[in-house]
Amino acid sequence: MKDPEDVTTYKKSIGRLRVHIFLAGLDSEFEQIRGEILRKEPVPELENSYALIRREAMRQASWKGESESSDSTAMIARNRNWQGQTKGNHSKANSNFKCTHCNQQGHTKSRCFELNGYPEWWDHSRDQRRKNPTTAVVEAKIIDDASKESSALMATRGNNGEFSIPITNSTWIIDSDATDHMTFDSRQISSMKPSSKELISTANGNTTSVIGKGSLTLTNNLTLDSILVVPSLEYNLLSVSQITTALNCVVIFWPNFCVFKDIQTKQTIGYGVKRGRLYYLDLGSKDSRKLESALVVNSATNQKEEAEMWLWHRRLGHASFGYLKKLFPLLFAKFDVSVFHCDVCEQAKSHRVPFPLSLNKSLVPFMLIHSDV
């Protein structure tokens, strides 16, 4: 690669890869900030991404009443292979190297402890003696912002000490092969009733029993209907076909996340995060909160359109729904006409029971027949 543009493009791709590797190794408590970083365009550089994660770790530590060092140490241990920093190899660093971030000798920017985190053996008192006023002000501002965010979060507690943030009952895997939403925990189901499906086939070819179905509330505003209860499952499954039909949306899968987009408005209404080889529904992100409101609005819209269909059915003298679909294709775009049944039509258009055979026989026309009326 001799072209400078090719070299720049290659460096950018390597930088993005390092960011993805770094974010993939984080604990589940950093899912929300990880999603926000991945949604940024362009994706922030590695040092900026680490600064955001470190700030989030400080905020969580202050919220839980724990010290910053405990969370930072846990995060460093989680990413030890990526950092590759130990006390032994630090002592062998080439003194000719100079960091462009902290302007100190003996290491490069990619191995700077200020960006990657300090090991346990590091003497922080030495840092305080060499720290310039500008660095101290910036760090103090970060700590102050983190404290304000944690105070604002604590302010969301109610009088009973509970948070007003929606709480998910469990983790949901986004499954493109599932024909229905499924859960293994019947305690989460409300209005449980028998299901027409008694058995389902799993991915390994085996069949397992369904004990019922009902509705399930994921958050305060997000409720899914017709959830199958399958006790033998180990995870909750969110059916892609069911959610796209209910919301009239599409699901786009990317290497590290997936998004739910409204077909008409093209807006993102939901978000999923990839962990391992599976995609999980992320209900904590800003975009995923739109999924809740979209379900509520979509339910109200469907009820309005269904009422309009019944109105036209009655206005046109109880015309068949198949004929109405040809007249109003947009109105019936999201509905199956076979599910609509009109009691008046069935009773009015049914044939009478034929009269029984008469025992009275006439020999000539207009012959008088005596009968009891």
Under a CB-based contact definition with an 8 Å cutoff, are residues 44 and 52 in contact?
yes
Domain boundary among 237, 268, 294: 294
Q: Are both 285 and 238 inside the same structural domain? A: yes
In this prediction, residue 370 carries a pLDDT of 62
Of 224 and 64, the structure prediction assigns the larger pLDDT to 224
In this prediction, residue 168 carries a pLDDT of 40
Establish if 345 belongs to a structural domain. no
Q: Are both 195 and 232 inside the same structural domain? A: yes
* Structure-token pair, residue 234: 């180990």
Q: Are both 25 and 89 inside the same structural domain? A: yes
Establish if 80 belongs to a structural domain. yes
Average pLDDT (240-253) is 85
Q: Are both 99 and 211 inside the same structural domain? A: no
In which domain, by residue range, is 106 found? Answer: 4-154
Average pLDDT over the chain reads: 71
| Residue 184 pLDDT grade (very low, low, confident, very high; cuts 50, 70, 90) | confident
Is 307's pLDDT higher than 80? yes
Residue 291, Cβ neighbours under 10 Å: how many?
A: 25
Q: Are both 108 and 142 inside the same structural domain? A: yes
Establish if 312 belongs to a structural domain. no
In this prediction, residue 65 carries a pLDDT of 58
Q: Are both 193 and 117 inside the same structural domain? A: no
In this prediction, residue 223 carries a pLDDT of 66
- The C-alpha atoms of residue 65 and residue 91 are separated, in whole angstroms, by 35
Query: Percent of the chain, pLDDT > 90?
Result: 0
Q: Are both 251 and 224 inside the same structural domain? A: yes
Is 261's pLDDT higher than 80? yes
Establish if 34 belongs to a structural domain. yes
pTM over 0.85: no
Is 113's pLDDT higher than 60? yes
Q: Are both 224 and 269 inside the same structural domain? A: yes
The CATH number of whichever domain residue 184 belongs to comes to: 2.40.70.10
Q: Are both 226 and 145 inside the same structural domain? A: no
Of 131 and 152, the structure prediction assigns the larger pLDDT to 131
| Residue 162 pLDDT grade (very low, low, confident, very high; cuts 50, 70, 90) | very low
| Residue 50 pLDDT grade (very low, low, confident, very high; cuts 50, 70, 90) | confident
Q: Are both 182 and 266 inside the same structural domain? A: yes
Establish if 336 belongs to a structural domain. no
Is 79's pLDDT higher than 70? no
| Residue 74 pLDDT grade (very low, low, confident, very high; cuts 50, 70, 90) | very low
Establish if 63 belongs to a structural domain. yes
Q: Are both 86 and 50 inside the same structural domain? A: yes
Domain boundary among 107, 126, 154: 154
Q: Lowest mean pLDDT: which of 68-82, 107-121, 179-193, 347-361?
A: 68-82
Is 283's pLDDT higher than 60? yes
Establish if 48 belongs to a structural domain. yes
Q: Are both 179 and 85 inside the same structural domain? A: no
Average pLDDT (93-107) is 70
Establish if 308 belongs to a structural domain. no
Instruction: Count structural domains, the chain.
Output: 2
Domain boundary among 125, 154, 183: 154
In this prediction, residue 146 carries a pLDDT of 42
In this prediction, residue 121 carries a pLDDT of 63
In this prediction, residue 20 carries a pLDDT of 80
